[in-house]
Copies of this chain bind each other. A is one copy, B any other.
Amino acid sequence: MPSPKVTSTEELLSSDAKWISLQKINYTDEDGKPRVWECAERKTRGKSGIDAVAILAILRSKTNAFPLSTVIIEQYRPPIDKGETPEDAAIRELEEETGYKAEGVTESSPIVVCDPGMTNANMKLVVVSVSLEDKLETPDSKLDEGEHIVKRIVPLDKLNDELKGEALISVHQGFVVDARLSYFASGYEMAQRIRNGKFD
């Protein structure tokens, strides 16, 4: 299978853009001084008011046959379908993109913003739990035509190291690591280091 490849990049006129637009926000600051902020926004936000849902799947063995793990993928754009809650979308998309069936939602974050200085994009993080009988099964994904998703299982306490290695080699391969996944992994690792007295 050939690798995806950028053939050209060009400046896009607002009038030609289908999915995103530029907005100019006029506001007055704390001193009453008029100021201007430029930002980008998606044209696709639906009734849910939420642009995207992030899914964190915790894979665990009923017999402790493997350490608590998660599944990371190399392409990611889970939309929320019409009339669906973010939690339903998380469970549906997890199964489509990785084949894992979650038995429930462990946690659902408030709505948070991705890069507030630049866009109005928002999202929710939904943590779901997948119990496996014994060994770490890797079911088939249920991808749409044109979807090309590589998945990888990683133990939670190796996630930060794995992503750091990934980020270092990825530049050469055209891949980049998502900041949000990276921050989750940093927080997880920091709690462990503090617990183990290894934080200096």
Contacts and interface: CB of A to CB of B under 8 A. Distances in A.
B19 A52 contact: no
A2 B30 contact: yes
Contacts of A188: 187-188, 190-191
Chain A at the B interface: mostly helix, strand, loop or mixed?
Answer: mixed
* Residue of A20, A34, A148, A189 contacting most chain B CB atoms (<10 Å): A20
Contacts of A26: 6-10
What's the interface size class on A, roughly? Answer: 35 or more
Interface stretch (A81-89, A132-140, A171-179): A171-179
Contact of A33 (B32, B107, B146): B146
Interface in A19-50: 19-34, 38-40, 42
A81 B86 CA distance: 39
Contacts of A118: 20, 40, 42, 114, 119, 121
A171 B111 CA distance: 9
Interface in A99-154: 106-107, 109-119, 121-123, 125, 127, 129, 146, 148
A164 B116 CA distance: 17
Contacts of A18: 38
A138 B184 CA distance: 28
Which of A2, A22, A164 has most chain B Cβ within 10 Å? A22
A12 B22 contact: yes
Contact of A115 (B107, B109, B119): B119
Chain B CB count within 10 A is highest, among A1, A15, A19, A179, for A179
A166 to B, nearest CB: 8
Contacts of A5: 27-28
Contact of A200 (B56, B106, B123): B106
